[in-house]
Amino acid sequence: MQVQANWWANHPRMRIILIAIAGIVIISALIVLQQWIINPKMTLDSAGLVMLDGLIDWTVWALLTPGIVWLARRFPMFRRGRPQPAILIHGVVGTLATAIWSVPISVITWLFTLYGFDGMKPMALSSAYLYELQGRSFYYSLFYWLVVGIVTARLLARDAQEAAAEAARLESEALAADLHAARVHYDPRGLAGHLRTAAELAEADPVRAEEQILETAGELQRSLALTSPVTQQRPCAA
């Protein structure tokens, strides 16, 4: 049991493939169940046809989904919250993909009608294609845009995280610059030197001493005005 658990954990790609296969089989079986509920008289041959149709249909989707994911990442519809011209690209590709993905199912339908499987009447390949395109174009397009939308949402979330990290970094750098500027403007040793000079001039030249004190007070006031918004952002330690 431990060996199986280790194998499952050590083979992520194989795990994804097995999950995809199981999902395709389950979805196809649910489609058969849905058709049986709608038509309880459905024969075993009809059930097999519906099952085969579902297996082919969803296998094509499983094979093409990595390509859709790559395309959505290579040509994102939004960049930092802003629409991009790639939206038009996805509109064209989504339409073409719907037309292309209808080909394998239409071929299967044409073969079944050609051999009269389950009482089907023969029809031309072009008629089978138009029949399948009309019946499947809506949810084919819906699935394409669903995959693209999921990838786009993940890219937008990543852009938001990067923008928040960039804003936090710029704020931190601005705060560090303010603190550095405050240290440059407010030097306690320089302040003490100015005060000693003013004290020495107090008796010899009172006018000069007063000017020195006013000059020192002005420098201190400018330093306090510079540091006050910074200290308000930094909580004091208890």
Q: Is the pTM of this model over 0.85?
A: no
Rounded to the nearest angstrom, the gap between the alpha carbon of residue 9 and the centroid of all alpha carbons in its chain is 25
Taking the domains of the chain in order of start, what are their residue ranges? 2-175, 186-233
Q: Who contacts 63 (Cβ-Cβ below 8 Å, separation ≥6)? A: none
The Cα 48–Cα 16 span in angstroms is: 26
Q: How many CB atoms lie within 10 A of CB 76?
A: 19
pLDDT at residue 7 in the model: 65
Mean pLDDT lowest among 2-6, 62-66, 125-129, 136-140: 2-6
Q: Token digits for 174?
A: 């601005």
Residues 6+ apart with CB under 8 A from 201: 208, 209, 212
The yes-or-no verdict on residue 236 having pLDDT over 50 is: no
Q: With contact defined as beta carbons under 8 Å apart, do 61 and 147 qualify?
A: no
What is the pLDDT at residue 151?
Answer: 92
> Under DSSP, is residue 190 helix (H, G, I), strand (E, B) or coil?
helix
Strand partners for 78: 83
**pLDDT grade, residue 228 (50/70/90)?**
low
pLDDT at 186 over 60: no
Q: How far is CA 174 from the centre of its chain?
A: 29
Residues 6+ apart with CB under 8 A from 183: none
Mean pLDDT of the 42-69 span? 83
* Torsion sign, CA atoms 5, 6, 9, 12: negative
pLDDT tens for 94-145 read 888 888 888 888 887 888 787 776 667 888 888 888 888 887 788 788 888 9
pLDDT (mean) for 62-90: 87
Which residues have CB under 8 Å from 134's CB, separation 6+? none
Tokens of 104: 């394998």
Q: Do residues 92 and 110 make contact, with C-beta atoms less than 8 angstroms apart?
A: no
Cβ–Cβ < 8 Å for 143, 61: yes
